[in-house]
Amino acid sequence: MPEQHAWGRVGHNRGVEARAGLWRLAGLVAGLAGLATSYTAAMVLTIRESPVVAIAEGVIRLTPGPVADFVIRFFGASNKALLLVMIFLIAGLVFAALGRAARTRWWVPLAGYSVLALLTAAAVIAQRGSTTVDLLPVVVGYLTWLLVLALLVAPLRRADRAADPAGVGGPVATEAPEPRTDAYGDGAATPQGRRTFLVRAVLVAGAAVAVAGAGKVLGTGRRAVEETRRLLRIEGAGLTPAPRGASLGLQAIAPWQTPNDEFYLIHTALVVPAIAPVDWSLRIHGMVEREIVLTYDDLLARERTEAWVTLNCVSNPVGGDLVGNALWTGVLTSELLAEAGVLDGADAVLQTSEDGWTCGTPLAALTDDRGAMLAVAMNGEALPIEHGFPVRTLVPGLYGYVSATKWVVDLEVTRFADFSAYWTQRGWGEQGPVKIASRIDVPRSGESLPAGKIAFGGVAWMQGTGVSAVEFSVDDGEWVPATLGKVPSADTWVQWAGTTDVAPGDHVVRVRATDADGNVQTDVERDVLPDGATGLDAVDFTATDTD
């Protein structure tokens, strides 16, 4: 009888151990599922690397120089791969341990995942050029961990509870009697609970592999397009210099030429289209005599135009920064449309992008001499992917939402009466000519400066007409004329700057521009909806006593 008892205990312990293994498996599967979704989220968001790579890079950065040198020499070029494998192994052990711990203390995996997510977030932030969007994959992974662990742990807990009616669970429960009702002979009392767990674990693992696979495909395609773009040289692009004197030399004013990676971004696409030039073509059709289909090579073979043009968003509030100025290179739409032969009665072009976004542009803006173009280069480089690679439309004098189609693939000559485009369907104006605007960049809101002669400055724009004067006024005093930077045409913004005497105290400075036709910017405040904000930019600052 004592012997039987001993056997019973052994069998029982083996059962407890077997089930502990299942808990570890739950932790492992949940952990790997989180890594899979975060990886794919990174690929979808065109983030350079996944969070795990961010960790690897963080480890490399934190490793003391001599150790890193040794590791790199010892493992040669494969050291990064090895580091990744090690991170995966360690992560696997941690995930399993967290799963095991979930059996007795539910908060341990919660705390563990939170710490891992925070460490990963720190590693991601530490990467060069990272933005807050780069944290999204970490959040996705974290939520996956919690969700999957909950999903896998529920049937295990049921199994445990059935096995330990005392409900204590954990090591203490080894003293509880073990009902042997299953065919496994290992003490897992409810094959149901176990079966549910195993089914879920297999499904989750399969889904994780599928998700990671999809991420891999996406990421590879995107990287291939990025690589093609990087190697692309657009002959003759970028040769038009900025005029001398465009910049007034005030550090804090937005640079006259906006660098590509600082140019504002607006698009409805969640996943930015990655289009290889060989896969791109543009169809010009509708109310035309001859339909035209152009490939990227066809477009590059044509005569090119190049111009400095300021692009801005209708959603830019007064004083906002949804505006930028760049050198654009492309092919005139007027020439392409002349070749297609526009029919009488047409007054619009319905533009469609590869991702299905649409906008309606006045036909006249694409055929007159303002220089509307199908742009292939921005600041002398092939368009960045997120700015519309390989081809976008650019129309001086119109807000982006009615003109600047990124990833453009279709131009249909038509009538405004016959369609309604993406933003017009959502209450925005059908026509979107830009409005005159001016912005204060110096001083910054809330800044403190020594009283006396204070420098003010910023930018002003009225594409198509041009800005002829900018004035600023402190505390609604007299309007002080500002000095203007040089501009190559009416289509770019202009820097403005000036100084005036300011007494100690709190102040507000306002700015207004006048266009080349003599129209003074209104101080009437209007919202961005439906066709662009009006009103004057104002900045609060403090002049401090200097004695």
- Sole window of 4-12, 87-95, 130-138, 263-271 interacting with ligand MTE (rule: CB under 6 A): 263-271
CB of 160 to ligand MTE, least distance (A): 52
**Least Å from the CB of residue 466 to ligand MTE:** 21
Determine which residue in the list 48, 176, 263, 347 makes contact with ligand MTE, applying CB under 6 A: 263
Q: Which two tokens stand for residue 127?
A: 């990467």
CB of 393 to Mo ion, least distance (A): 13
Is 254 within 8 Å of 246 (Cβ atoms)? no
Tell me the C-alpha distance between 184 and 9, whole Å. 16
DSSP 516: T
Q: Between residues 320 and 488, which has the closer beta carbon with respect to Mo ion?
A: 320
Query: 390, 48, 37: which is closest to 219 by C-alpha?
Result: 48
- Give the one residue of 38, 190, 258, 405 binding ligand MTE; rule: CB under 6 A: 405
| Only segment of 67-75, 156-164, 198-206, 259-267 that touches ligand MTE (CB under 6 A) | 259-267
* 400 belongs to the binding site for ligand MTE (CB under 6 A): yes
Contact between 404 and ligand MTE per CB under 6 A: yes
Q: Which residues form the interface with Mo ion (CB under 5 A)?
A: 266, 313, 400-401
Residues 6+ apart with CB under 8 A from 353: 269, 273, 388, 405, 406, 407, 408, 409
Binding status of residue 406 toward ligand MTE by CB under 6 A:
yes
Is position 333 an interface residue for ligand MTE (rule: CB under 6 A)?
no
Contact stretch for ligand MTE (CB under 6 A) within 27-35, 301-309, 404-412, 438-446: 404-412
Residue 357 interface partner, choices Mo ion, ligand MTE, none, CB cut-off 5-8 Å depending on type: ligand MTE
Q: Is 267 in the site for ligand MTE (CB under 6 A)?
A: yes
- Give the CA angle between residues 483, 485, 491 to the nearest 5°: 125
Q: Which does 404 bind (CB under 5 to 8 A by kind): ligand MTE, Mo ion, none?
A: ligand MTE
The least CB distance from residue 323 to Mo ion, in Å, is 10
Q: Identify the burial level of 110 via C-beta atoms within 10 angstroms of its C-beta, where 0-12 means exposed, 13-18 middle and 19 or more buried.
A: middle
Closest separation between CB of residue 296 and ligand MTE, Å?
17
Of 73-81, 190-198, 262-270, 301-309, the segment contacting ligand MTE by CB under 6 A is: 262-270
Nearest to 363 by CA among 412, 419, 303: 412
Question: Rounded distance, CA 286 to CA 124, Å?
Answer: 48
Contacting residue, 401, 416, 456, 496, with ligand MTE by CB under 6 A: 401
Residues 6+ apart with CB under 8 A from 476: 510
Give the nearest distance from C-beta 420 to ligand MTE in angstroms.
Answer: 16
Q: Let me know: does 237 contact 306? Beta carbons within 8 Å.
A: yes
Taking the complex as a whole, the smallest distance from the CB of residue 321 to ligand MTE amounts, in Å, to 11
Assigned token pair, 61: 């950065």
> In this chain, which residue has its C-beta nearest to ligand MTE?
400
Q: Does 264 bind ligand MTE (CB under 6 A)?
A: yes
Give the DSSP per-residue string, 181-244.
Answer: -SSSSSS---HHHHHHHHHHHHHHHHHHHHHHHHHHHHHHHHHHHHHHHHH---TTTT-SPPPT
Q: For 375, list phi and psi in degrees, rounded to 5.
A: -85, 140
Write out the binding residues for ligand MTE, residues 313-332 only, by CB under 6 A: 313
**Which residues are CB-neighbours of 114 under 8 A, at least 6 positions away?**
142
407 part of the interface to ligand MTE, by CB under 6 A? yes
CB of 423 to ligand MTE, least distance (A): 7
Distance CA 473, CA 262 (A): 30
CB of 456 or CB of 493, closer to ligand MTE: 493
Site residues (vs ligand MTE, CB under 6 A): 263-269, 311, 313, 353, 355, 357, 387, 400-401, 404-407
